[in-house]
Amino acid sequence: MPSEQSVDPHFDLTGKVAMVTGGSRGLGYEMVKAFAAHGADCVIASRKLDACEAVAEEVRAMGRRAMAHSVHAGRWPQIDAMIERVYDEFGRVDILVNNAGMGPASPSHDVTESLFDSILNLNFKGPFRLASQIGRRMAADGGGCIINVSSSASLRPMPEVTVYGAAKAAVNAMTRSLAAEYGPAVRVNTLSPGPFLTDIAKAWEPEARETADNAVGRPGNPAEIVSAALFLASPSSSYVTGSLVRVDGGLNLSV
């Protein structure tokens, strides 16, 4: 990560407050580190407080302020309480990354109502609440940006993740609507990752960890999400809103 003196001016986040759900591991963790390295104070939110606090300590060691917060990102009362705590502590949020999510594989005919609700809550209902409540505050405070993390499952036919793909497709539509509703002060974009070697990849077959059905022929390394996230979070993307940015190595979406 760059030192404070070498931060690219195009990606300068000095003085900004960034909140990342699912920020204690995987792609969320990489985004938190990148935001902090480029000047932002960070709120790290996920279910496990100890994991959030460990990342917060890394951010503090970089000379930034940090808050760790345990939250179920699909439950509105917990989301609302987190928002109040963050605004009490920092006074604002400049960058929101809706990254928390899950996509368990199951034959569609075996999906229970409970599992259906859990997937929709975490991947769409919660992100909607967080984006709409913080988006409203951002607009009143003069601006900000929201990055909704989607998935190639929202764009590409994939068996056994029907509910997850549908929830992420709803996130894609939500992005466009919120960009229109809270613009021009608030920019809202979708970041759509493809296969990445995060914790979930440990359950993949060895071949899937080495190759992928995309133009570059491999899964992504988690740090490869950073440049796209920084672009969407920074003033360099001031004319980009309501957009979907794919970071999937050129995945074939027609398969």
Yes or no: domain 9-247 corresponds to CATH 3.40.50.2000: no
Query: Is 164 among the residues known to form the active site?
Result: yes
Q: 231: Cβ–Cβ under 8 A, 6 or more apart, which residues?
A: 11, 237, 240, 245
- Tokens of residue 117, six digits: 């609700």
Residue 4 pLDDT greater than 90, yes or no: no
pLDDT of residue 6: 63
Q: Is there a contact between 119 and 251 (Cβ–Cβ < 8 Å)?
A: no
For the residues of 185-214, what is the DSSP string, one character each? TEEEEEEEE--B-SGGGGGS-HHHHH--SB
Q: How far apart are CA 159 and CA 171, in angstroms?
A: 19
Give 168-189 pLDDT, tens digit per residue: 999 999 999 999 999 999 999 9
Mean pLDDT along residues 207-228: 91
Options 29, 87, 164, 239, the catalytic residue: 164
Q: What are the φ and ψ backbone dihedral angles of 111, each rounded to 5 degrees?
A: -70, 125
Of 129, 124, 197, nearest in space to 154 by CA = 124
Give 5-14 pLDDT, tens digit per residue: 466 788 999 9
pTM for the whole thing? 0.94
Of 166, 197, 164, 82, nearest in space to 130 by CA = 82
Q: How far is CA 246 from the centre of its chain?
A: 13
Average pLDDT, the chain: 94
Q: How far apart are CA 130 and CA 110, in angstroms?
A: 30
Q: How far apart are CA 118 and CA 75, in angstroms?
A: 10
Residue 112 pLDDT greater than 50, yes or no: yes
Residue 24 pLDDT greater than 90, yes or no: yes
